[in-house]
Amino acid sequence: MAYTSANQLELLQTAEAVAREKNIEPGLVVEAMEESLARAAKSRYGAEMDIRVSIDRKTGKATFTRVRTVVEDEELENYQAEFTVEQAKQYMENPEVGQQFVEEVPPVELGRIAAQSAKQVILQKVREAERDKQYEEFKDRAGTIINALVKREEYGNVIVDVGAGEAVLRRNEKIGREAYRPNDRIRCYIKEVRREQRGPQIFLSRTAPEFMAELFKMEVPEIYEGIIEIKAVARDPGSRAKIAVISYDGSIDPVGACVGMRGSRVQAVVNELQGEKIDIIPWNEDMPTFLVNALQPAEVSKVVLDEEAGKIEVVVPDEQLSLAIGRRGQNVRLASQLTGLDIDILTEEEESKRRQAEFEQRTKLFMDTLDLDEFFAQLLVSEGFTSLEEVAYVELDELLVIEGVDEDTANELQARARDYLEAEAAKAMEAARALGVEDSLADFEGLTPQMLEALGKDGVKTLEDFATCADWELAGGWTTVDGERVKDEGVLESFDVSLEEAQDMIMTARVMLGWVDPADLESEADADEAELAEEDEA
pLDDT number for residue 239: 87
Residues 100 and 190 in one domain: no
325 part of a folded domain: no
Same domain, 367 and 457: no
Residue 235 included in any domain: no
150 and 166 share one domain: yes
Q: 231: part of which helix (H) or strand (E)? A: strand 228-236
Per-residue pLDDT tens over the stretch 176-223? 777 888 888 888 888 888 776 666 678 888 888 898 999 999 999 999
DSSP 105-144: -PPPB--HHHHHHHHHHHHHHHHHHHHHHHHHHHGGGTTS
CA 23 from chain centre, in angstroms, equals 37
Same domain, 63 and 167: no
Half-sphere exposure of 534 (CA within 13 A, CB side): 6
Report DSSP letters for 263-308, one per residue: GHHHHHHHHHTTT-EEEEEE--SSHHHHHHHHTTTS--SEEEEETT
Q: Quick count: other Cβ atoms within 10 Å of Cβ 252?
A: 12
Where residue 361 falls (left for φ over 0; alpha for ψ -120 to 50; beta otherwise) is: alpha
In a domain, 290, yes or no: no
Q: How confident is the model at residue 315, as a pLDDT?
A: 83
Q: Of the candidates 130, 153, 170, which is a domain's last residue?
A: 130
515 shares a domain with 485: yes
Q: Is residue 288 part of a domain?
A: no
Helix, strand or coil, per DSSP, at residue 48: coil
Contact 436, 428 (CB under 8 A): no
Show Cβ contacts of residue 193 under 8 Å, excluding neighbours closer than 6 positions. 135, 138, 139, 141, 142, 200, 201, 202, 203
Structural domain that includes position 382: 352-432
> Is 72 inside any structural domain?
yes
Burial-class residue 319 by CB neighbours within 10 Å (0-12, 13-18, 19+). exposed
Between the alpha carbon of residue 437 and those of residues 55, 135, 282, 423, the distances in Å are 84, 63, 54, 19
Number of domains in the chain: 4
Q: What b/e string do you get for 63-95 counting C-beta neighbours within 10 Å, with b at 16 or more?
A: ebebebbbbeeeeeeeeebbbbbebbeeebeeb
528 and 471, same structural domain? Answer: yes
pLDDT at 24: 66
Residue 347, phi-psi category: left (phi > 0), alpha (psi -120 to 50), beta (remainder): beta
446 domain-assigned: yes
| Strand partners for 234 | 242
Buried b (16+ CB within 10 A) or exposed e, 289-315: ebbbbbbbebebeebebeeeeebbbbb
Q: Are 45 and 51 within 8 A, CB to CB?
A: yes
Which pLDDT value is given to residue 6?
43
Q: For residues 344 and 291, give the distance between their C-alpha atoms in angstroms, rounded to a whole number.
A: 12
Among 250, 201, 200, 204, smallest CA distance to 227 is for 250
Same structural domain, 463 and 362 = no
CATH code, domain carrying 161: 2.40.50.140
User: Rounded distance, CA 182 to CA 152, Å?
Assistant: 6
For residues 511 and 11, what is the distance between their CA atoms, to the nearest angstrom? 75
At 34, which CATH number?
3.30.1480.10
What residues contact 53, with CB distance under 8 A and at least 6 apart?
34, 35, 37, 38, 41, 62, 63, 64, 65
Domain co-membership, 418 together with 492? no
The pLDDT assigned to 380 comes to 86
Please list, in sequence order, all residues whose beta carbon lies within 8 angstroms of the beta carbon of residue 124, skipping any fewer than 6 positions away. Answer: 32
Are 118 and 11 spatial neighbours (Cβ–Cβ below 8 Å)?
Answer: no
| pLDDT reported for residue 530 | 54
Q: Do residues 33 and 149 share a domain?
A: no
pLDDT tens digits along 220-275: 999 989 899 999 999 888 888 899 999 998 889 999 999 989 889 999 989 888 88
Q: Are residues 456 and 387 in the same domain?
A: no
Q: Around Cβ 227, how many Cβ atoms within 10 Å?
A: 16
Q: Which residues of the chain have pLDDT under 50?
A: 1-7, 114, 538
Kindly report the CATH number assigned to the domain that includes residue 386.
1.10.150.20
Query: For position 3, what pLDDT does the model report?
Result: 41
What sign for the dihedral angle of Cα 38, 39, 40, 46? Answer: positive
Residue 1's pLDDT is: 37
- In a domain, residue 374? The reply is yes
Last residue of a domain, one of 105, 130, 155: 130
**486 occurs within a structural domain:** yes
Q: Same structural domain for residues 162 and 119?
A: no
Is residue 133 a contact partner of residue 125, using CB atoms and an 8 Å limit?
Answer: no
Query: Which of 130, 158, 183 is where one domain is finished?
Result: 130
Q: What DSSP element (H or E) covers 44?
A: helix 26-45
**Are both 527 and 467 inside the same structural domain?**
yes
- Dump the DSSP string for 58-105: TT--EEEEEEEEEE-GGG---TTTEEEHHHHTTT-SS--TT-EEEEE-
User: What does the buried/exposed string (b/e) look like for 356-376 if buried means 16 or more CB atoms within 10 Å of the residue's CB?
Assistant: eeeeeebbebbbebbebeeeb
Cβ burial, residue 222 (10 Å; 0-12/13-18/19+): buried
Q: Is the peptide bond before 26 cis (omega within 30 degrees of 0)?
A: no
